[in-house]
């Protein structure tokens, strides 16, 4: 806000320091706080934070420029970001962003000169089941249509504070369509925790092992083993981290778990703390879910009152554990556990070298368990009801259930829980999908499935998934999906390693060239080559999986590419004649000889 004075900024930083302390690891949290109040992080705040936290101003600025939700210059009283996942595009977000920009007289991403508003796109905000969606000053607005956009423009022009906007705008539905093993029973009476205390940590670990539970974030590491490694790692300080950075495009089930099953998730973290011997836990909550923070804080406060967090939990002397919520600020890479830990420590979210793994050297270099929201929920029930109860569902290698986020072309988008081993066509039938052309499973980084593969099953041994399930019917141009994902990965690469940083940009540019009708067969081969370099040469999973959608669609949907191609064998990626424009301008010539001949 232009009206924010220097003393205002200094006061703001001082208040944030008073609330969160001067631990340099809270840098990102301070920056988010300043951003929320000033619509940017002004220079005075950079200097004040560098000084107070004893970090370099460069580290502060580097963090601001890394996270998409932090800015060095003001965004205005209203910072509006439209979710730009392919599922938003499929329901017309492009038209709505145009409409909103027209109404407000702005261009995407550029603040209005009067300091009132900025309108721009952002990566998937996790509202695909109630898309199109947007964030206004970090708060989620769902189910956009022309009328709602019109109303928003009025509210912005009237400078109406968010708390006076219609409450319905901010309503987020759970949309649980098919509850299963975990979702069918949200009741919480701390039975898991009580069972743990009655039977002991070894017994709890044994139940987890018996259950066969594997991490629900996608990588599928055996949970019991992770906890055991961490428990046995040398050191006397350990941490529990819940990865609630649900950034994979098309995923939103953790949003629902945190909304309606938060107690069970926190209980799982507390059980983990007891098993490994941790006293401090963190929920790393993606910035897009800012609206959930107050709710989660209130659940935590209630649990403290009930003796389920804090000192001597459930009267057990020495069982001390508490949980703090840390916000992310718009960085997909922070869903990767080591980047998440870097971000928790207030730094840019760049993945760490492994080994060492977080179980031996995680937060502050101490043994740390990082698990997905869904994993903690499952762990609570397993400790409560036993490993066999969980094992009763699923396949040999994939025990239990998987919670899916279903969106795209179907009648009933929402959250579905299935036993592992469920075929893709079953999900399509249940959600009312018809004439399905393709399913993108496990998000932008996942696999593109053609109809011939709809008999394949959801399981670690066949189709491993973190839960995203996006459906495309036959009316869709699959290249639209590719364009969206290619831009997404170019935007979300952390930039640390060469293949992902540069390769991601090259892929995006080549995809755009093809989409513009300027591509030839040669470009498709180029896309394959660059994709292969990224798969083989990248530093972390982001780069390894970023070209999947391109390689998959080239193999399975060649026609989607072919019909955009020029017939020519080779087409240059720039217009030779246009490239001479500057020379013509400099020499003041525009005669025929100063132009290249048109090709036949």
Partner 1 sequence: MRVASTFRLDGREIPFTPGQTIMDAALAAGVYIPHLCHNPEFAPHGSCRVCVVGVNGRHVSACTAPAADGMTVDNGSEEVQDLRRAILQMLFVEGNHVCPGCEKSGACQLQAVAYWVGMLNPHFTHFFPCRELDASHPDFVIDFNRCILCELCVRASRDLDGKRVFAISGRGLDSHLVIDSRSGKLGDSSFAATDRAAHVCPVGAILPKNRAYAAPIGQRLYDREPISVVGDVAAHDGGG
Residues that bind partner 1 (CB under 8 A): 56-59, 61-62, 65-66, 331, 348, 353, 355, 490-499, 501-506, 509, 529-530, 533, 536-539, 573-574
Q: In angstroms, rounded to a whole number, what is the distance separating the alpha carbons of residues 156 and 162?
A: 9
Q: Which is nearer to partner 1, 421 or 504 (CB)?
A: 504
Nearer to partner 1, 77 or 342 (CB): 342
Identity of the residue, 313 or 550, whose beta carbon is nearer to partner 1 in the bound complex: 550
Max Cα separation, the chain? 91
Cβ–Cβ < 8 Å for 335, 351:
no
Residue tagged 């502050």 (tokens) = 364
Find the shortest distance in angstroms from Cβ 55 to partner 1. 9
Residue closer to partner 1 (CB basis): 379 or 530: 530
Structure tokens at 596: 């290249």
How buried is residue 48: exposed, middle or buried, by Cβ count under 10 Å (0-12/13-18/19+)? buried
Return phi, psi of residue 513, to 5°. -65, -45
Of residues 209 and 526, the one with the C-beta less far from partner 1: 526
What's the min distance (Å) between Cβ of 62 and partner 1?
A: 4
Sign of the alpha-carbon torsion through 207, 211, 215, 217: negative
Tally of residues, the chain: 600
Closer to partner 1 by CB, 42 or 413: give it. 42
- 534 token code pair: 């990224």
CB of 493 to partner 1, least distance (A): 4
Residue 264: φ, ψ to 5°: -65, -35
The distance of closest approach from Cβ of residue 573 to partner 1 in the complex, given in angstroms and rounded to an integer, is 5
Shortest gap between Cβ of 24 and partner 1 (angstroms)?
Answer: 13
**Which SS3 state, helix, strand or coil, does residue 440 take?**
strand
Name residue, tokens 């809270």: 26
**Cβ–Cβ under 8 Å, residues 100 and 132:** no
Spacing of C-alpha 277 from chain mean position: 29
Minimum gap (Å) between residue 247 Cβ and partner 1: 14
Residues 79, 111 contacting (CB under 8 angstroms): no
Q: How far is the CB of 532 from partner 1 (least distance, A)?
A: 8
Walk across the sheet containing 139-141 and list its strands: 117-122, 78-83, 134-136, 139-141
The nearer residue to partner 1, 350 or 403, going by C-beta atoms, is: 350
SS3 454: coil
For residue 589, the minimal CB distance to partner 1 (Å) is 24
For residue 37, the surrounding DSSP H or E stretch is helix 27-38
| CB of residue 497 to partner 1, shortest distance in Å | 5
Q: Which is nearer to partner 1, 415 or 510 (CB)?
A: 510
Spatial neighbors of 448 by CB under 8 A, at least 6 apart, are: 438, 439, 440, 478, 481, 548, 549, 552, 553, 556, 557
Q: Which is nearer to partner 1, 110 or 305 (CB)?
A: 110
Q: How far is the CB of 15 from partner 1 (least distance, A)?
A: 25
- SS3 call for 533: helix
Least distance CB 11 / partner 1 (angstroms) = 22
* DSSP string of 133-147, one letter each residue: -EEETTEEE-S--HH
Rounded to whole angstroms, what are the CA distances from 426 to 20, 131, 410, 417, 419?
Answer: 48, 24, 13, 12, 11
Tokens 């870097």 found at? 342
Q: How far is residue 543's CA from residue 239's CA, in Å, rounded to a whole number?
A: 28
Residue nearer to partner 1 on the CB measure, 431 or 497: 497
Our CB check for partner 1 shows the closer of 247 and 400 to be 247
Minimum distance of partner 1 from residue 72's CB (angstroms):
11
Which residue lies nearer to partner 1 by CB, 482 or 534?
534
In whole angstroms, what is the distance from residue 501 CA to residue 478 CA?
24
């Amino acid at each position: 806000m232009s009206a924010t004075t220097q003393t205002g900024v200094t006061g703001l930083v001082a208040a944030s320091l008073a609330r969160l302390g001067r631990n340099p690891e809270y840098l990102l949290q301070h920056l988010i706080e300043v951003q929320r109040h000033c619509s940017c992080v002004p220079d005075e705040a950079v200097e004040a934070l560098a000084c107070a936290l004893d970090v370099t101003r460069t580290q502060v600025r580097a963090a601001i420029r890394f996270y998409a939700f932090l800015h060095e210059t003001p965004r205005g009283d209203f910072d509006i970001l439209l979710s730009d996942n392919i599922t938003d595009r499929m329901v017309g977000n492009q038209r709505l962003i145009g409409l909103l920009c027209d109404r407000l007289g702005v261009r995407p991403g550029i603040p209005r000169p009067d300091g009132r508003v900025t309108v721009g796109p952002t990566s998937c905000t996790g509202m695909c089941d109630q898309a199109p969606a947007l964030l206004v000053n970090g708060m989620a607005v769902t189910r956009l249509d022309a009328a709602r956009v019109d109303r928003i423009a009025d509210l912005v022009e009237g400078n109406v504070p968010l708390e006076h906007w219609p409450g319905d705008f901010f309503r987020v539905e759970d949309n649980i369509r098919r509850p299963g093993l975990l979702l069918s029973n949200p009741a919480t009476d701390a039975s898991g925790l009580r069972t743990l205390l009655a039977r002991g940590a070894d017994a709890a670990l044994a139940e987890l092992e018996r259950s066969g539970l594997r991490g629900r974030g996608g990588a599928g590491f055996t949970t019991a083993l992770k906890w055991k490694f961490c428990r046995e790692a040398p050191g006397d300080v350990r941490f529990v981290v819940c990865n609630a950075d649900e950034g994979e495009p098309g995923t939103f089930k953790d949003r629902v778990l945190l909304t309606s099953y938060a107690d069970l998730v926190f209980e799982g973290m507390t059980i983990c703390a007891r098993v490994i011997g941790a006293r401090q836990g963190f929920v790393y909550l993606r910035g897009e879910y800012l609206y959930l923070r107050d709710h989660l804080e209130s659940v935590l406060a209630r649990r403290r009152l009930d003796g389920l967090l804090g000192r001597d939990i459930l009267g057990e002397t020495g069982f001390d554990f508490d949980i703090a919520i840390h916000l992310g600020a718009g960085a997909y890479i922070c869903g990767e556990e080591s980047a998440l830990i870097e971000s928790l420590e207030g730094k840019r979210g760049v993945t760490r070298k492994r080994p060492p793994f977080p179980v031996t050297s995680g937060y502050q270099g101490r043994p740390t368990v990082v698990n997905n929201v869904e994993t903690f929920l499952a762990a609570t029930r397993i400790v409560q009801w036993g490993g066999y109860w969980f094992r009763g569902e699923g396949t040999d290698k994939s025990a239990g259930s998987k919670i899916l986020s279903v969106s795209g072309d179907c009648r009933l988008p929402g959250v579905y829980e299935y036993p592992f081993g469920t075929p893709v066509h079953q999900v399509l039938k249940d959600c009312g999908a018809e004439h399905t052309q393709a399913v993108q499973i496990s998000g932008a980084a996942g696999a593109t499935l053609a109809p011939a593969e709809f008999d394949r099953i959801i399981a670690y041994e066949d189709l491993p998934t973190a839960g995203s399930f996006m459906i495309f019917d036959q009316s869709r141009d699959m290249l639209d999906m590719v364009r969206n994902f290619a831009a997404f990965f170019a935007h979300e690469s952390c930039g640390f390693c060469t293949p992902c940083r540069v390769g991601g940009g090259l892929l995006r540019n080549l995809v755009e060239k093809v989409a513009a009708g300027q591509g030839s067969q040669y470009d498709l081969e180029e896309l394959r080559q660059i994709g292969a370099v990224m798969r083989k040469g990248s530093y972390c999973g982001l780069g390894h999986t970023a070209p999947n959608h391109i390689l998959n669609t080239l193999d399975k949907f060649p026609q989607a590419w072919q019909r955009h191609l020029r017939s020519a064998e080779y087409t240059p990626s720039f217009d030779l004649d246009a490239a001479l424009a500057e020379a013509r301008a400099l020499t003041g010539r525009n005669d025929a000889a100063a132009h290249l001949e048109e090709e036949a």
